[in-house]
Amino acid sequence: MKIVKVEKVNITGLGNAKRTIIRYEDGSADSIPARLFRKYRFAEGDDVDALEREALRKEIFSFEWSYLLHFLEKAPKSSQEIRKRLSGRGDALEMIDRLIALAFEEHIISDDDTKEVLVRSYFGKGFGPSYIKMKIAEKGLKYEKNDLEGYDFVASCAEEYRKYVKTHGHLPAKKIRIAALNYLTRRGFPFEVIKRALGDEDE
């Protein structure tokens, strides 16, 4: 297979990777990490046989698997986030599918576990259900009705209200109330939850 183009690129924002894109005469391509390219030293016009290309792709897969493990060490990630990150690094769709399949097979990613951690984290930070649903969607995950079961958003909303009033006690009572309602809405608490929470506070 003849190489028709060798293109060096710097990928910023998604891994900050230096890659070399090798394009072949059949329209296919390989995205090679800089460290591996220094080993192979391909150039335009070179012929790459099937065995050599298979060996190259195995090394790329191993390199990206190591990167993926490092990426997952920082925080749980959904399969969609992983796909976006690897796509941004220039990896081929087929390789991305294999990497994600292996991660599921090795039980190191789980969209349900990722969603549970996300919900627990944002609930603990005092955010309401609307905000949490938005974050679930941003992760590329599907919201299920039971995702928020067992979380007392009324009590959480009441606690956020008390904290807001305490830190803004110098303002007139009516102004505090209006500002607090706006604050709770921005944090993703729907009107029905706020009404119940503040009703409990007023009693």
- Transcribe 97-115 into DSSP letters: HHHHHHHHHTTS--HHHHH
Over residues 182-200, the mean pLDDT reads: 92
Average pLDDT over the chain reads: 86
Instruction: For residues 52 and 48, give the distance between their C-alpha atoms in angstroms, rounded to a whole number.
Output: 6
pLDDT tens-digit readout, 58-100: 998 998 899 889 888 877 788 888 888 888 777 778 889 999 9
pLDDT tens-digit readout, 120-141: 989 999 999 999 999 999 888 8
Q: Which two tokens stand for residue 130?
A: 């609307």
16 confidence band (pLDDT: 50, 70, 90): low
In three-state secondary structure terms, 127 is coil
Full-model pTM: 0.62
In three-state secondary structure terms, 158 is helix
So what's the pLDDT on residue 186?
Answer: 95
More confidently predicted of 202 and 47: 47
Q: Is the pLDDT of residue 182 over 60?
A: yes
Instruction: For residues 178 and 164, give the distance between their C-alpha atoms in angstroms, rounded to a whole number.
Output: 11
So what's the pLDDT on residue 94?
Answer: 87
Question: Percentages helix, strand, coil for the chain, rounded to the nearest 5?
Answer: 60, 10, 25
CATH number of 3-109: 1.10.10
Which of 81-85, 103-107, 130-134, 165-169: highest mean pLDDT? Answer: 130-134
Instruction: Find out whether 193 and 201 touch, Cβ atoms under 8 Å.
Output: no
